[in-house]
Amino acid sequence: MKDFNYHSAKDSKEASKLASSSSAFLAGGMTTIPSMKLGLATYKDLIDIKNIKKLSGIKVSGKSVTIGAATKHVEVSNSKDVKKAIPSLSSLAEGIGDPQVRNRGTIGGSIANNDPSADYPSACIALNATIHTNERKIEAAKFFKGMFETALKKGELIEAIEFQIPEKSSYQKHPNPASRYAIVGVYVAKHKEDVNVAVTGAKSCVYNDKEMSKALSGNFSSSSIDGMDLDSSEMNSDMHASADFRASLVVTQAKKAVDAC
Amino acid sequence: MGKISLEVNGRKVEKEASDNTLLSTFLREHLQLTGTHIGCDTSQCGACVVHVDGNSLKSCTALAADVNGSKVTTIEGLETNGKMHPMQEAFKKLHGLQCGFCTPGMVMSAVDLLQKNKKPSDTEIRDWLEGNICRCTGYQNIVAAVKEAATKM
């Protein structure tokens, strides 16, 4: 791994002041460090944000669950408050990677990286999340721009993610047996007004499946999406699953999620 | 370059290391603690698992700088007065290893599991060892060893 300068920031202000066009924020490092080791990314400066106290912790209000960006997956999966308010979010965290990854990886890191197969982006879309940064608030629907691409500007730091508590929800994934990344993951959330069906792993970026959302908003039963023939033309196709198989998996996992709600 | 201060296996250490030094490199090359193995070096195999402040992590995917000031336990830190840790005893007794390459990481992960879950089921053991890969044993005897250790710890 090429050398760089390591900085540990005390607060968000210091972190964004240190940021430049050749820097990266370091949270759990579960993607950043392997990418740097493989030579896929090089930075002059790594700005560690784990020691910024304000960025860790979980707050639950009547309508929402707010999770600090540097909160680890293990903290979300173990949180009694999250389990009570949005049980599907806690079980999603419990299914990420392996225990060592969950001991280090953070929610903010996962979202900022926006891996097409990551779990958390689907939670953000399904639970109408608001991403709080040191500069502004961004709706999840406008945050995830494309493969590994987000609305974040250089030096902009995620501080917290605010999830809307749904009436019912469930996240179901067909994991890659080695990495536990989602080959396809579907997060179904029934809110008062409508239903979101957020899909990860199937395309280059997480998305809300409008067709299934519409069907489930009319009748919240797995029978209303049974046998739905989704367009697979934009779906990923690789050694693990063809586009057509992914399209079929999306429906299967969505049905499982609705039944588990 | 920066100063890395850690407490490793109960001993305070302080060494200069470049900022890109991984914890696994720091342990093996700066402290000569070669019990921590580097297998895949891409955070999948788990041969490099150590404990940092009581929790297991993959030391090939953590910077030494990033755990500065922490308490680290490696496989070398498990024995007491030359006596093996119950988990090591159980792995030996039940043939939880063959070539032994994955064993340090496997043992460190398993010890962390029993710290958090005193009586894990077979499924819980297998789930917990998700991030530790063994190419020899077929895992049966590893699971049996962890169960045995649970009765002794």
Domain extent listing, chain A:
1-47, 168-260
Listed by number, the residues of chain A in 177-216 with a beta carbon closer than 8 Å to a beta carbon of chain B are 178-180
> Do residues A117 and A136 make contact, with C-beta atoms less than 8 angstroms apart?
no
pLDDT value of position A86: 98
Q: What CATH number belongs to A168-260?
A: 3.30.390.50
CB atoms B66 and A50 under 8 Å: yes
Show me where the domains of chain B are located.
2-77, 86-152
What A190-197 contacts at long range (C-beta under 8 Å, 24+ apart), as own/partner pairs, is: A190/A166, A190/A216, A190/A220, A190/A261, A191/A128, A191/A164, A191/A166, A191/A167, A192/A167, A195/A220, A196/A125, A196/A126, A196/A127, A196/A128, A197/A126, A197/A254
Give B87-113 pLDDT, tens digit per residue.
Answer: 999 999 999 999 999 999 999 999 999
A1 touches chain B (CB under 8 A): yes
The DSSP annotation for B91-148 comes to HHHTT--SS-SSHHHHHHHHHHHHHH-SS--HHHHHHHGGG---SSS-SHHHHHHHHH
Q: What is the pTM of this model?
A: 0.95
Residue type, A149: E
CB atoms B130 and A37 under 8 Å: no
Q: Give B66's contacts in chain A (Cβ within 8 Å).
A: 6, 26, 29, 48, 50
Among 3.40.50.920, 3.40.50.300, 1.10.150.120, 3.10.129.10, what is the CATH number of B86-152?
Answer: 1.10.150.120
CATH class of domain segment(s) B2-77? alpha beta
Query: In angstroms, what separates the C-alpha of B129 from chain A's closest C-alpha?
Result: 8
Question: B19 by DSSP, 3-state: which?
Answer: coil
The residue assigned the tokens 């005897």 is B141
Q: Give A33's contacts in chain B (Cβ within 8 Å).
A: 22, 43, 61-63
Which residues, in sequence order, are CB contacts of B30 under 8 Å at separation 6+?
A: B4, B15, B17, B21
Tens place of pLDDT per residue across chain A (261 aa): 999 999 999 999 999 999 999 999 999 999 999 999 999 999 999 999 999 999 999 999 999 999 999 999 999 999 999 999 999 999 999 999 999 999 999 999 999 999 999 999 999 999 999 999 999 999 999 999 999 999 999 899 999 999 999 999 999 999 998 888 999 999 999 999 999 999 999 999 999 999 999 999 999 999 999 999 999 999 999 999 999 999 999 999 999 999 999
> Do residues A119 and A171 make contact, with C-beta atoms less than 8 angstroms apart?
yes
> Do residues A157 and A134 make contact, with C-beta atoms less than 8 angstroms apart?
yes
CB atoms A37 and B128 under 8 Å: no
The Cα A181–Cα A201 span in angstroms is 8
Closest residue to B130, CB basis, from A8, A26, A98 = A98
Query: In angstroms, what separates the C-alpha of B82 from chain A's closest C-alpha?
Result: 28
pLDDT value of position B1: 83
Give the CA distances from residue A117 to residues A179, A186, A200, A241, B121, in Å, rounded to whole numbers and listed in that order.
Answer: 10, 11, 6, 13, 30
